[in-house]
Structure formats: C-alpha cells, structure tokens
Chains A and B, each alone.
Chain A
C-alpha cells in the first residue's frame, strides 16, 4: 500500500499572541486541530466524520493548502508541502483539489461556467486555448452536464447542478486527490444520491483518492473504505469502515451511531445527562469526551488518551474502549 497523502503531527491553533503590541495578557487561543496523523493510500476513500466544531474542515483546508498549519508535515506523493501552505496554493493545485460544501457560493456569481472551468486549465496547466475547448467538453460529460450550460451564470443552476460544476472545476486541475468537504450536505436527499453516485463513478474513471468529510455517518458508510472520527480537534478513532461500524471502540463513535435517527429504531435518550461540547477556550485536562462518557473513570479526567492500535488497523484514543 503506497501512501498518496501522508500527514504527520499536523496542528492548528487560532488566536493567541498578545494584546497591546505584545505587552498585554495572552489572548485566548483555540486548538482547532491537535496533532493529526493520517495516511491515505492511493485509490482509497478516507471518510472523516465529526460534528460541527470538531476541526474537520480546518484539517481539510490545511491539507489542500488554503490554511497554513501551525506545525506538522503534509506529504503528497512523497513531497513535503506544508512549507508552501498558504503561500503558493498553485503548488498544491495540480495534486490535490477541493470540493466545497456550499455549491452556490463556491462559484463566482459574475463568471460564466466556461470562465470558471478555464481558470485551472490556463493557470495550472498553461493549456493553449485550442485544447481547452475539448477538455471542457470532456469535463462536462464526466459530470453529466449539458454543453449549453457553459455560457450561463451560476445563479441559473440548482444546488445539485452547481455542485457538479464545482466537481468539474476540481477535476479540471487533473489532481490525484480530491478533498470533499461535506459535498452533499447542502443538497436534498434525492439529489444527494445522484451526486454520491457520480463521485463513485469519477473515482473509478480518473483513479482518484478521496478524502470525504461529513457529519453524516450513514453517508460516510456508503462511500468510505476507511473512517476517521474526530472529536474536539482530535482524531479519536480510525479503522476500516466495516470495522468501525460493526464494532466501534470509542464511546463517542458509539454515541454518534446511536444518535442518528434511523427508521425502525425507537427513540431513546442516548445520553442521560444533557451534556455538550467543552469550552474550546478552556479545554478540560483529560479526555475531551470524558464528561459525556458513560465509561469515564478517574484517569480519563486527568490524562489525554493517545491514539493507539487496538486490534489490526483499528486505532482508538480511549482509556476504556467499548467492548
């Protein structure tokens, strides 16, 4: 198994520094992503699951180079890219592309679809005008859109169509990896399925590697080979999809799976206490989930559990894993 994408100790803090030109008190800082380690194999789909504020989008933006990491390394096909993050996104552009959550706002309202699709061809691949036309036609075919859409503006499209255009733009760069940040959560379920199926086809056709980020466990299960669960800025569990859904080890994963409203399962309060996320400005010392965890013991409130192997290819950060 070769790693197309390799991430080591990736860290992101927001805020911090000092007020009043460095003389005042230290400003509060938020540790949005805490030393993330990931290896994504070529051709794999890695699902990243978590609720709002867990750091999954921050992680994704660092991986595509839109946000410079505070610390850590990003290697794509063996080359170190963390240095260039935030400075030269074009360096990333040919290897890794991003599909955004909100399809409409990811398209410039004052540009035609043709202009939008041409930009990566011109700027990343310096493709001459003669070849661009044919390439754009191919891209539209790939995402099942008609050619007469080319000279229209984004507001004339529905969410599903706009998302296809966003995917076509990402494909135009001919990347190796696509980071899909909640690509279907803004879409209606009937359209959601269309886009998910399209993504699966494209992956086969262009031999892509996917990083699929979502808050929806069921969607991730339908597309991912391997799943990483994030909670409060850290990866708390990572395993092949069938394992993580059959036998989750982290109590947060268990809670997440039980909370998803499902046909055929009665409604029961999944948590006795009405607990919520800890304060990110003032994180608790031990495991961030301890306050909500049914299996929490004294050590959980004191020490942060490391992410360790527990069974083959099954990583979990828990002192008392579920059985």
Chain B
C-alpha cells in the first residue's frame, strides 16, 4: 500500500483524524516550549501559591510553591511525550528482534527465548517495574527503562506470533530455494511483512506507555523535583486535592487528552493498515441477507418446490458493486437432484446461500428477483418465517465440515439442537433421534460418537455428521454446497454413495453445488452450468454431458483430464473468467470463445429453450441441438 492510499483511509476515519490533529497540536506546542513566552517553570513564589486559573499573570494559576502551572504543564507535556515515545521505541525494537528471531528459527531458540519472555509476563507488570526502579533508584530515566523493559514481552509475543505464520508461508521456502541466507530472509522477506504489525502494536501502546511513566512519576518514583512531568505534577497536586483541585485537574486532563488522541490515532492507523479491515471483512454478517429490490417478479403459474426467478445478488464493497449473480432462474422439483456446476467465482455458492438468506451481509445484498419455496416467497418473508423454514424444510450441507461444525459443542448436542430448534422434543427423545440419524449416515459406534467433539472425528465422519444434521427434520430439500470438495477421493466416493442412497430412500430433493463434472454425472438428474453469475445451460445430465450445447460447457468438459486416456495435451480454454465488477456486455464468455461474433458482444442473450427440457444462453449453440 502506498502512502497516499494510507492517508486517504486514515482521513476517512474522522475520529482518528481528529485525534491526529489534537496530537499534532499538542506536539507542536511541546516542541515550541523553549521559544514560547513562558515563565520559568521552576521560579517559586510561595506568596502566590495555589492561585486559581485565570489569575493575573498566571493563566492556569499556580501550584503549591507558587510556580506557574501553564509553563510547568507545557514543559511537563514535553517530558511525558519524549519519555513515552522513547520507551515505546525501545520496547518495540528489542521486542521485535526477539519476536522475529524466535518465530523464524522456531524449535529450541524459540523455546528458550519465549520461556524467558513468559517469565517476564509472569509478573504483574508493575511489580517488575517497581523492582527495577527499586534497584536503579527513583528517577525519570530509570522509570523509562522500567516501562520499556516491562513492555518488551508484549511486542515479542505479538511479533513472534505473526512471524511464525509467515515463516511457514511458502514464499519463505521459495526464498530459501532462491539461495537466501537466514538473516537475509528475516530482513527482506519477514520484516517488510511484520512492519505493519509493529507499527500497529506501537500505535496502540504509545498511549499506554505515556500513562505508565506518568503513573510511576505520580507515585514519586519517576521524575524528581523540581523537574516535573505530567505524572509528578498530578502527584504533587494530589496533596491539596480537596482544597485546591485545579493543581491536579489540569495535568490530569492533559494526560487524558494526550492518551485519548494517541489512542484515536492508533485505532485509525490500525484500521488503515489491517488488510482485513480494508476489505470490510471485519463486519459481522447479519442473521439474514439484506434485500434491496425494486419489484417482486410475478409468481410463475406453476412454481416448483424451489423456484428461483431472476435472482440478483451483489456485494457492495465501498463504492464498488460486484455482481455475483446477474439474474439466476432455476427450479428444483420434489425428489430431484439438480447439479449446479461452475468454476470459482461463477456464483454457484452465492446462489445456494441466497436461497435462505445466508449470504454474508454486509457486504452481500439481494438486489432483485424472487425465491419461492412451495409457492411462498422467501426474500420478502418476515425473519421468523424464514427461520422456521431453515433447517426444517430446507437444510444445508456445507463444504469444510471442520469449520462448519461448532468446535466447542459435542456432535450429539449439535444434532439435538437442530431438532429442538423446530420441535419441542424432550432431551432424551431428541437424543434417541440423533442416534438414529448417526446410524442412518452409517457412522460406526454411533452411540459413542454422540459425545465426541468435531475435532475428534475424521473429515469423512464430520461430513456425515453434517448430513445427519441436515436430515434432522426430514426436509424437502437439501442444499449441498460443495460437500465433498475438502475430502479425499476415496472418502468422497463414500459420501456421494451415502447421499445418493439417502435421497432415494427419503425422497428428498437436492440442490448440489460442485465444480466437478464427474460428481454431477454420478449423482444428478439435471444440471445447470453457471458462468460469470448466470446460468448458461441447463438440461438433463446425460444429454448435456453427451452433447453440450454451450461452447463453454463443451470446452469445460473437454479440459478436465479423464482417467484412462493416457498421456496427452489437454484442451485448455484461453484467458480468464471476467471480473464480476466489470462484466462485458452480451455473452460473458465471448472473449474466450472461438465462435464469438460481434453479435455476441452486444445486447442481452436469453436462456432459450433448445430441445426437450434443455435451455442454452448462446447465439451459436453447438451441434444439432440448436
């Protein structure tokens, strides 16, 4: 990220900018202390002690020795800022070195360094600081050393954590194979990636360090009279707190203002540097996807079990709109298995999640179309009705079963919850039903597995649990979003066979999302092919695989290597799928298609019926189906 983008992001955060401005103002005044027309901060005048603010000649009054508070405040601020910054840089420097070395080398080096750091962390930090000050004697420099030392573990731990992740990244291995030495890798590969973390850690601790040193001075262990930083001013003022509160309130407010502005700025810096925040990913998804559509399409005369009409789902990130779905229509009939196939970014998963309003929102918005289950429109339905359907009539199976099961609840509890979310079933009965379900998905030792946590099961077993949960309320439709992609082939084969048996036994319809034609061929009755947020072809599985009508379908099938064809060159599709924030007019596949003409690049191409039960979105469909 360049400096301009950083400043822009930073300035967008108004609070951070305000904090930055205040801090700049305070720093400028502190820097200018020697040239400002201030009184001597040490000049005592006991006759004029404890003058109130706005007295003649003493704008902020005087302290217990009659010294000018304004002058002492500015000089004290100067001192506090310097001490806080130096302590912070010191801690960051030594902490980062320890963290990077420990994280990069790992093993024994890591072990010993971190044991040492753990020892320091075993102290409540002020005890360590007090011990250091006790040994070195009270004084501002010693307080600074104490505060810096005490904060080294914070940096060391943070930086080590980040470095460990980085050190296991493949680019570090690649650098090693490029002939780099360890020191070079740490300086040129690790450090640039760790630097933002160091800056963030510093910006969030500077305020803290200023507070800490002020605190030690407040206790009389930091700056020694007559020199005063803000903390010792506050400490001296405390003796006359009740009679002359202004002598403590003024430095107290100053500390507060400095620390607050530093914290505001620190938050701004963190937000601007943290890439997750930049992409807006650190927002929590709401319970259902936002719907922002102008009109609801007319209901079809004879809606299927699940009927999607012209569904448009977008991701609104900043001022960019990514059109993940640009009008998806499809229907699933009772008991049928429809395969929805496409490459990554084609919108197949977004389609699946849009049905029950599970697209993460923000940034997801359903901008148009309708979703109907047994004739009932879902996008406009009240949340309570939608929730009633979720997991009850329409349930989901997701891709990665480790991430999709709650890590801290047992498998049994999670299935029981799925049942009890929709039926008030007594615990014992729900548990018996959960056991029945685990047996139905052929989990060995089901009784014992009920009490297991997800991490105690293998990937295949976890996905069986996911399936059991989806079956808990005898749904009419299961939406399976790449349920076997994360599994090994032999396990995938088991899960697919299981799904096929279950759907035939129970008559449940399946919307099966996948990128694999082999899976579609084996499991699905019908298939819909997606490209760049649209369905480009749909029809019975066999018919489409035998004679694909859309050039994309044909070439996609052709470029998948198939077992039993020996060594050969593959039929690649040149180019890349279009970015969904910049879709071309006309057919999105035209730039990669060898049959494209000018007509393909203009106007709307409709999904037209081509043969029995088949439809294709192409002006020049393949073969004789046209």
Contacts and interface: CB of A to CB of B under 8 A. Distances in A.
Q: Do A and B bind each other?
A: yes
Nearest to B519: A261
B494 A266 contact: no
A161 to B, nearest CB: 8
Given A190-B343, A277-B458, A262 B518 contact: yes
B460 interface: yes
Nearest to A86: B176
B179 interface: yes
Given A98-B177, A100-B173, A221-B561, A188 B496 contact: no
A306 to B, nearest CB: 24
Nearest to B345: A188
B573 interface: yes
Interface stretch (B13-21, B266-274, B563-571): B563-571
B243 interface: no
A107 B171 contact: yes
A97 B177 CA distance: 7
A158 interface: yes
B573 A109 contact: no
Nearest to A266: B522
A26 to B, nearest CB: 18
Contacts of A258: 493
Given A51-B488, A197-B570, A277-B458, A192 B174 contact: no
A76 interface: no
Given A52-B488, A110-B192, A218-B562, A223 B567 contact: yes
B467 to A, nearest CB: 13
Nearest to A188: B343
A281 interface: no
B518 A222 contact: no
B574 A270 contact: no
B505 to A, nearest CB: 14
A263 B562 contact: yes
B609 interface: no
A194 to B, nearest CB: 4
Contact of A218 (B180, B343, B460, B563): B563
A194 B171 CA distance: 23
B523 interface: yes
A228 interface: no
A276 B170 contact: no
Nearest to A125: B179
Interface size on B, as a range, is 35 or more
Interface string A241-258: 110010000000001111
Contact of A221 (B343, B521, B556, B567): B567
B179 A124 contact: yes
A161 B545 CA distance: 29
B319 interface: no
Given A106-B170, A193-B571, A218-B561, A267 B491 contact: no
Contacts of B192: 108, 110-111
Contacts of A261: 489, 492-493, 496, 516, 518-519, 521-522
Nearest to A194: B572
A107 B571 CA distance: 28
Interface string A60-79: 01001110000000000000
Nearest to A220: B561
A112 to B, nearest CB: 12
A221 B564 CA distance: 8
| Most B CB within 10 A of own CB, among A215, A261, A266 | A261
| Most B CB within 10 A of own CB, among A97, A166, A267, A269 | A267
Contacts of A158: 576
B613 interface: no
Contacts of A64: 177
A89 interface: yes
A274 interface: yes
A296 interface: no
Given A268-B497, A269-B494, A93 B489 contact: no
A123 B572 contact: no
B175 A267 contact: no
B491 A276 contact: yes
A27 interface: no
Contact of B179 (A110, A123, A166, A223): A123
A61 B180 CA distance: 17
A262 B496 contact: no
Nearest to A65: B177
Contacts of A160: 576
B603 interface: no
B573 A190 contact: yes
B399 to A, nearest CB: 15
Given A109-B193, A196-B570, A225-B567, A259 B492 contact: yes
A222 B561 contact: yes
B281 interface: no
A241 B570 contact: no
Interface in A95-109: 97-98, 100-102, 105-109
Contacts of A166: 174
Interface in B521-566: 521-523, 545, 555-557, 559-566
A128 B343 CA distance: 43
B292 interface: no
B388 interface: no
| Most A CB within 10 A of own CB, among B169, B179, B344, B569 | B179
B490 A110 contact: no
A241 B569 CA distance: 15
A264 B541 CA distance: 11
B500 interface: yes
Contacts of A216: 561
Contacts of A109: 193
Nearest to A175: B177
B563 A257 contact: yes
A84 to B, nearest CB: 12
A92 B179 CA distance: 9
A299 interface: no
Given A100-B174, A194-B574, A219 B179 contact: no
A189 B500 CA distance: 25
Contact of B521 (A191, A263, A274): A263
A41 to B, nearest CB: 16
Given A188-B343, A188-B344, A259-B489, A193 B573 contact: yes
Contacts of B595: none
Contact of A106 (B171, B493, B561): B171
Contacts of B443: 274
Contact of A189 (B176, B458, B497, B559): B559
A193 B562 contact: no
Contacts of B563: 217-218, 221, 245, 257, 260, 262
B251 to A, nearest CB: 43
B175 A108 contact: yes
Contacts of A61: 173
Contacts of B316: none
Contact of A92 (B177, B522, B564, B574): B177
A258 B516 CA distance: 16
Interface of A: 51-52, 61, 64-66, 89-90, 92-93, 97-98, 100-102, 105-111, 119-120, 123-124, 158, 160, 166, 169-170, 172-173, 188-194, 196-197, 200, 215-219, 221-225, 241-242, 245, 255-271, 274, 276-277
Interface of B: 169-171, 173-180, 189, 192-193, 343-344, 442-444, 458, 460-461, 488-494, 496-497, 500, 515-519, 521-523, 545, 555-557, 559-574, 576-577
Given A108-B192, A120-B179, A197-B570, 11 more contacts: A66-B173, A98-B177, A106-B170, A110-B192, A158-B576, A196-B570, A218-B561, A221-B563, A225-B567, A262-B518, A270-B497
27 contacts: A51-B489, A65-B177, A93-B177, A97-B177, A100-B173, A106-B174, A188-B577, A189-B343, A189-B556, A190-B559, A191-B572, A193-B571, A196-B570, A196-B572, A197-B572, A200-B569, A219-B561, A221-B565, A222-B565, A255-B490, A258-B493, A261-B516, A261-B518, A263-B517, A265-B522, A267-B522, A274-B494
